[in-house]
Structure 1
Amino acid sequence: MKWLFVLFALAAGALMPLQAGINLRLRGSLGDPVWAAAVSFGVGTLALLGYLAAARVPLPSMAMAGSAPLWSWTGGALGAFFVLATIILAGQIGATSMMAWLLAGQMMAALVLDHYGLVSYQVHTVSWPRIAGVGLLLAGAFLVNKY
C-alpha cells in the first residue's frame, strides 16, 4: 500500500516542472509573473470547486473551520509564493536546476520539520543517514546547476 503513495508522489513530482513550464508560457502571454500565478491559482481553485461539486462533498461547518489554528490558513499563501517562484525560476535557471534547488530546499526544511514535529508532523529524529541523504541531494543540485 505504501508503494501506491510513493508512485503518487513520483507522479506529482513529475508534474511540477511541467506546471512551471506551462505557467512560464502563461507569464509570456500575460507579461507578469504575479498575474500568471494568480491566473494559475484561479484555474486551480475552479478545478477544485468543480471536483467538490461533482463529488458532492459537503461544506465544512463554521465550527470545524473555526477550530483550525490561525497558522493553518497560510498554506494557500505559501502555495501562491511557490507557484510564483517557479514561474520566475523556470525562466532564469531552467527546469532541471529549478527542480534540483527546490528539492534541496524542501528536503532541508523537511529535516527540521520532522525532527521537531512542527506544523502537525510526527517526530522523526534527524539521523546521520538522513543528513547524508539530504547532503547528496544538495551535491546533486550543485552538479545539475554546474553542468
Structure 2
Amino acid sequence: MWILFLIFAFLAGLALPIQFSINAQLRTVVGSPLIAATISFIVGAITLFTVSLFKAGFSLNKGIVSAPWWVWTGGVLGAFYVLATIILIPRIGAGTTVALVLAGQIVASVLIDHFGLINVPIHLLSVPRILGAILVIIGVVLIQKF
C-alpha cells in the first residue's frame, strides 16, 4: 500500500507543471490571470463537489463549526499558488517556475516537519534531509541558469 502512496505523490507532482502550463494558456485565452485562476478554481470545485457526492455523500459534520480559523486558509493559499504560476510561466518559463515552486515547497516542508507546525507529525532535521534540500536548491539554480 505504501508504494501506491508514493506513486500517487509522484503523479500529483507530474500534474503540477501541466496544470501550470494549462492555466497560463487559459490566461492568454481570457486575457486576465485573475479570471484564469477563478475559472481554474471553479472547475476544480465542481470536480471535487461531484466526486464528493458520489464517493462520500456530501454532508457537513459538526467538527466544521469548531475548527480553528486557519483551516480555512488552504483555499486562499491555493488561490495564491495558482495565480502566481499563471503570472510567472509566461515571464520566467515553466522550468524556472516549477523549480522555484519546488524549492519553496522543500524549504517549507522541512520547516513544517521539523517544528511540527500545523499539527503535522515531527520529523526532525537531519544531515541527509538538509543535504537533500541543498541539492534541490542547487538544481533550481542550474535550471534557471541553463
**TM-score normalised per structure 2:** 0.96
Q: Which 5+ residue runs of structure 1 have no aligned equivalent? A: none
Matched residue, 2:55:
55
Matched, 1:74 2:73: yes
Aligned: 1:39 with 2:28 = no
Q: Secondary structure at the match of 1:124?
A: coil
Moved over 3 A (4+): none
What's the % identity of the aligned pairs?
44
Q: Alignment length, in residue pairs?
A: 146
How far apart in 2 are the matches of 1:64 and 1:70? Answer: 12
1:110 aligns to what SS in structure 2? helix
CA RMSD after TM alignment: 1.0
Partner residue, 1:64: 63
Task: Please show how residues 1-147 of structure 1 align to structure 2 within 5 Å.
Answer: 1-61=1-61, 63-147=62-146
Cα-to-partner distance string for 1:24-65 (whole Å, 9 max, x where unaligned): 11100111101100110011001111111222524022x211
SS of 1:60 mapped into structure 2: coil
Q: CA deviation at 1:97?
A: 1.2
| Per-residue CA distance 1:8-35 (angstroms, 9 max, x = gap) | 0111100101111111111001111011
Q: What is the alpha-carbon distance in structure 2 between the residues aligned to residue 51 and residue 7 of structure 1?
A: 21
Please list every run of 5 or more consecutive structure 2 residues that lacks an aligned counterpart in the other structure. Answer: none
User: Secondary structure of 1:44's partner?
Assistant: helix
Letter in 1 for 2:41: F
